[in-house]
């Protein structure tokens, strides 16, 4: 009896510390993008030029899509806390679809950049940098989708409330992070043209 309680307690400590792991990953990922944006700033300061482009309109749409997906994920988390599993499932699905749409829009953005001649292999490293940071951000989206799927699977398999909330929590931490990250990157690129 005592040891069961103890064990449960240890499980919840372990879930808590695993959640913290996600936070630390967020920190290190932020720093990686910080490395690129500082490259960009130092490059701009020493060469006296940025990417010098009008960014494709598609990026604005993709930003909106990503923000909406974040809102849906928030609603999914709220539904779970209120014990409405069906609602959570619905919102997770919407988040998933919006995430995929975001990816498609990013590809369209790159296509229109490519068509205007702002290609990856460029003598202006600032333009190459647009591809690097949006590309690596998209990789994070892929990872984020994996988190969303794990929450969805938890929902379908009726895992315990504690585990379901844990999965939903790490999904939320990560997804909101990549949402904010994209807004930062997009605004950064808009301001430093």
Q: 115 burial class (0-12, 13-18, 19+ CB within 10 angstroms)?
A: exposed
Q: What is the rounded radius of gyration, in angstroms, for the C-alpha atoms of the chain?
A: 20
Quick count: other Cβ atoms within 10 Å of Cβ 176?
17
Looking at residues 23 to 42 of the shown chain, list those that interact with another protein (rule: CB under 8 A): 24-25, 27-29, 31-36, 38-39, 42
Count H helices, E strands: the chain?
5, 0
- Binding map of another protein across residues 105-144, x = CB under 8 A, - = no contact: ---------------xxxxxx--xx--x---x--------
Closer residue to another protein (CB): 28 or 158: 28
Angle 2-47/125-156 helices, nearest 10 degrees?
Answer: 160
Closer residue to another protein (CB): 57 or 193: 193
Closer residue to another protein (CB): 61 or 131: 131
| 76 within 8 A of 40, measured Cβ to Cβ | no
The residues that touch another protein, with contacts defined as CB under 8 A, are 2-7, 9-10, 13-14, 16-18, 20-21, 24-25, 27-29, 31-36, 38-39, 42-43, 46-47, 120-125, 128-129, 132, 136
């Amino acid at each position: 009896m005592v040891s069961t309680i103890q064990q449960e307690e240890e499980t919840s400590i372990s879930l808590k510390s695993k959640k913290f792991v996600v936070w630390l990953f967020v920190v290190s990922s932020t720093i990686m993008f910080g490395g690129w944006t500082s490259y960009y700033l130092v490059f701009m300061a020493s060469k006296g030029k940025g990417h010098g482009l009008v960014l494709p309109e598609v990026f604005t749409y993709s930003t909106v899509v990503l923000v909406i997906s974040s809102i849906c994920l928030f609603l999914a988390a709220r539904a779970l806390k209120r014990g409405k599993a069906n609602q959570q499932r619905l919102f997770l699905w919407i988040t998933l679809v919006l995430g995929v749409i975001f990816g498609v829009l990013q590809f369209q953005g790159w296509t229109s950049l490519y068509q205007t001649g702002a290609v990856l292999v460029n003598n202006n490293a600032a333009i190459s940098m647009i591809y690097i940071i949006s590309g690596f951000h998209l990789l994070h989206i892929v990872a984020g989708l994996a988190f969303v799927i794990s929450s969805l699977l938890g929902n379908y398999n009726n895992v315990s409330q504690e585990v379901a909330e844990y999965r939903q929590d790490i999904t939320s931490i990560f997804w909101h992070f990549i949402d904010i990250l994209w807004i930062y990157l997009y605004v950064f690129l808009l301001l430093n043209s």
